[in-house]
């Protein structure tokens, strides 16, 4: 990929240390049975449309602004390819909270705007946890709600991956330094191979975005270009997974004895 997004943030000392240490020196490669994991690409993190980040943050405190909407192009391309090949497409988003926000627990400790809800305030008609319509889940996709940054924590994600027989993840979404990083680390802990698609990830802070990708590439995942992920999915053999049917099932009504 030539010069990487994080290179401008590294000192010469950092570059020499990384070269000498061997971290990030070789790719781990794709697995044989991947799932596409789309992390928190919802209205809370994008706002309602592409606009300068500070304007969007005025209404949606977690918004990543225009960068998030730009990433949707890559995410859409991955979704289309995964669905065409029958590769599992899994979304994560936040859980609904109590009205008093007591169940946000530690999420309330570090943000002065943690209790804001644009829909409740009448600023928006969207629920922040709703996946943006541009990449809305399809009938065969899976949607995971989660209480904390990692998609694995207190969620059925791990059990679904086991049931599908997945050995690897292709990851996109937000925020790179938060939910993406936490999920990738948990996947690494469970010995999944992970490919993070650079153009499909986004973040509010440019430095955090770049250095989080650097850290993931150094130790926990392959940070790859979208073209490489597209090519992998295009070449992937179809129909390798037993996905949900996406169709409702009529339940038989038990007959009653006269």
What's the whole-model pTM score? 0.92
What are the Cα distances from residue 242, in Å, to 18, 88, 163? 41, 9, 9
**Domain range list for the chain:** 29-96+120-235
Are 46 and 64 in contact, with CB atoms under 8 Å apart? yes
| CATH 3.40.50.850 fits domain 29-96+120-235 | yes
Provide the 10 A C-beta neighbour count for residue 166.
Answer: 21
pLDDT tens-digit profile of 169-211? 999 999 999 999 999 999 999 999 999 999 999 999 999 999 9
Residue 253 is predicted with a pLDDT of 54
User: Which residues, other chains included, contact 120 with Cβ-Cβ below 8 Å and sequence gap of 6+?
Assistant: none
At residue 250, does pLDDT exceed 70? Answer: no
């Amino acid at each position: 990929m030539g010069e990487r997004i994080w290179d401008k943030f590294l000192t010469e000392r950092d570059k020499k240390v990384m070269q000498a240490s061997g971290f990030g020196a070789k790719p781990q490669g794709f697995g044989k049975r991947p799932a596409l994991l789309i992390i928190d690409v919802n209205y809370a993190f994008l706002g309602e449309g592409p606009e300068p980040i500070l304007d969007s943050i005025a209404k949606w405190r977690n918004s990543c602004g225009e960068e998030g909407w730009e990433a949707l192009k890559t995410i859409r391309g991955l979704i289309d390819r995964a669905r065409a090949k029958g590769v599992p497409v899994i979304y994560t988003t936040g859980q609904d909270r109590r009205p008093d926000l007591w169940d946000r627990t530690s999420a309330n400790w570090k943000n002065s705007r943690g209790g804001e809800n644009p829909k409740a305030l009448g600023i928006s008609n969207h629920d922040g946890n709703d996946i943006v319509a541009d990449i809305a889940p399809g009938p065969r996709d899976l949607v995971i709600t989660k209480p904390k940054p990692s998609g694995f924590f207190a969620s059925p994600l791990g059990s679904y991956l086991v049931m599908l027989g997945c050995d690897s993840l292709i990851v996109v979404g937000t925020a790179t330094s938060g939910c993406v990083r936490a999920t990738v680390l948990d996947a690494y802990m469970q010995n999944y191979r992970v490919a993070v698609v650079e153009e499909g990830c986004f973040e509010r802070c440019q430095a955090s975005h770049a250095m989080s990708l650097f850290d993931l590439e150094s130790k926990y995942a392959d940070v790859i270009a979208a073209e490489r992920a597209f090519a992998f999915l295009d070449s992937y053999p179809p129909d390798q997974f037993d996905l949900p049917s996406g169709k409702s099932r009529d339940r038989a009504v038990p007959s009653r004895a006269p």
